[in-house]
């Protein structure tokens, strides 16, 4: 279902990923963390993903939804946290470093 | 008297054990402060006519602690006389009537600690990555704080 090299679980070795249009060809291994409803929809709490170093927040979301299509229903309600800073799902260019944490953040309800 | 011995401190804890009001208030008590203000968030047994069995909380723990630290830093900027701040939030299952969050602030006079406590809980609800699931008899629901700017306004 998925092109090889595009998705990696923690226990698999990284192979690099195919070049993408409009972005840096160098790929980074980042950790994607899922919380609350997004963890239920994706069916997991974390995974390692190979993504281009430069990618917009929206492009990253679309990549994640390609892997976990059930997440599409919450697209209008989530933001990312990249290196623990909130980022809206838009055109902001993310400059990712290897090992960066990207978290899917559904609407919060602490307190 | 040497107030420099009583350095202002932030006490932040996310834990699954039952929270203690005594423990949290004692953390912020200071001989230089005449006021300790407290907020306790407790779990209600009903929501829109449905019986709530219990709540479950989860957190992006490292970022939640960082965001709470930012709140403490903001409190000290807005109310410089605030001495100590304690924020304890429970994670995991929280039974009805038990506390899910306790916030305590000390200051020399009462106005600052009262205002700071309100600011803490309001800002926590808007910015700290913690999620609450309400468990009913036949279903459950992930709650969304109205303070959260990326939540849908309509369900």
8 A C-beta contact, residue B88 and residue B79: no
Q: How far apart are CA B119 and CA B144, in angstroms?
A: 19
More confident residue, B151 or B73: B73
> Which chain B residue shows the shortest CA-CA distance from A86?
B127
> Which chain B residue shows the shortest CA-CA distance from A79?
B150
More confident residue, A28 or B79: B79
Query: What residue numbers bound the domain in which A31 lies?
Result: 27-105
Q: What's the DSSP call for residue B124?
A: H
Q: What is the pTM of this model?
A: 0.88
Could you tell me the CATH number of the domain that includes residue A48? 3.10.20.30
The confidence score (pLDDT) of residue B126 equals 97
Q: Is residue A63 part of a domain?
A: yes
Q: Is residue A13 part of a domain?
A: no
H helices within chain A, ranges in order? 36-42, 57-67
- Above 50 in pLDDT, residue A17? no
Q: Is residue A5 part of a domain?
A: no
Q: How many CB atoms lie within 10 A of CB B110?
A: 13
8 A C-beta contact, residue B27 and residue B11: yes
- Above 80 in pLDDT, residue B155? no
Residues of chain B found within 8 Å of residue A78, distances taken between Cβ atoms? 150
> Which chain B residue shows the shortest CA-CA distance from A45?
B60
Mutation for testing the B interface, residue in A36, A37, A111 having most B CBs under 10 Å: A111
How far is A90 from chain B, CA to nearest CA, in Å?
A: 13
Domains of chain B, CATH where assigned? 9-138 (3.90.1170.40)
Q: Is residue A91 part of a domain?
A: yes
Q: Is residue A35 part of a domain?
A: yes
How far is A18 from chain B, CA to nearest CA, in Å?
A: 31
- Above 70 in pLDDT, residue B48? yes
| Domain count for chain A | 1
- Chain A residues whose C-beta is within 8 A of a chain B C-beta are 33, 35-37, 76-79, 81, 84, 88, 103, 105-111
pLDDT in tens, B75-106: 999 999 999 999 999 999 999 999 999 999 99
The confidence score (pLDDT) of residue B1 equals 73
Q: Is residue A46 part of a domain?
A: yes
The ipTM, to two decimals, is 0.93
Q: Is residue A111 part of a domain?
A: no
Q: Give the pLDDT band of residue A24 (cuts 50, 70, 90).
A: low
Rounded percentage of chain B residues whose pLDDT exceeds 90? 88
How far from B141 is each of A91, B48, B58, B95, CA to CA, in Å? 31, 12, 13, 16
């Amino acid at each position: 279902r998925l092109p090889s090299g595009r998705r990696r679980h923690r226990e698999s070795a990284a192979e690099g990923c195919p070049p993408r249009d409009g972005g840096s060809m160098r790929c980074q291994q980042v950790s994607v963390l899922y919380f609350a409803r997004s963890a239920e929809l994706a069916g997991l709490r974390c995974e390692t993903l190979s993504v281009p170093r430069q990618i917009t927040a929206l492009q990253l979301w679309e990549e994640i939804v390609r892997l976990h299509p059930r997440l599409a229903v919450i697209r209008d309600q989530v933001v990312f946290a990249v290196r623990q800073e909130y980022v809206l799902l838009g055109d902001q260019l993310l400059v990712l470093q290897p090992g960066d944490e990207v978290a899917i953040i559904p609407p919060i309800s602490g307190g | 008297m040497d107030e420099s011995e009583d350095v202002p401190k932030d006490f932040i804890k996310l834990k699954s054990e039952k929270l203690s009001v005594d423990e949290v208030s004692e953390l912020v008590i200071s001989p230089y402060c005449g006021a300790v203000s407290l907020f306790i968030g407790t779990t209600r047994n009903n929501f829109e006519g449905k019986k709530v069995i219990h709540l479950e909380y989860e957190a992006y723990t490292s970022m939640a602690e960082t965001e709470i630290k930012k709140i403490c830093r903001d409190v000290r900027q807005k109310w410089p006389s605030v001495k100590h701040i304690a924020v304890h939030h429970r994670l995991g299952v929280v039974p009805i009537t038990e506390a899910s969050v306790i916030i305590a602030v000390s200051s020399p006079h009462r106005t600052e600690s009262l205002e700071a406590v309100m600011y803490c809980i309001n800002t926590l609800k808007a910015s700290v990555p913690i999620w609450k699931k309400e468990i009913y008899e036949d279903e459950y629901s992930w709650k969304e704080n109205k303070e959260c700017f990326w939540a849908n306004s309509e369900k």
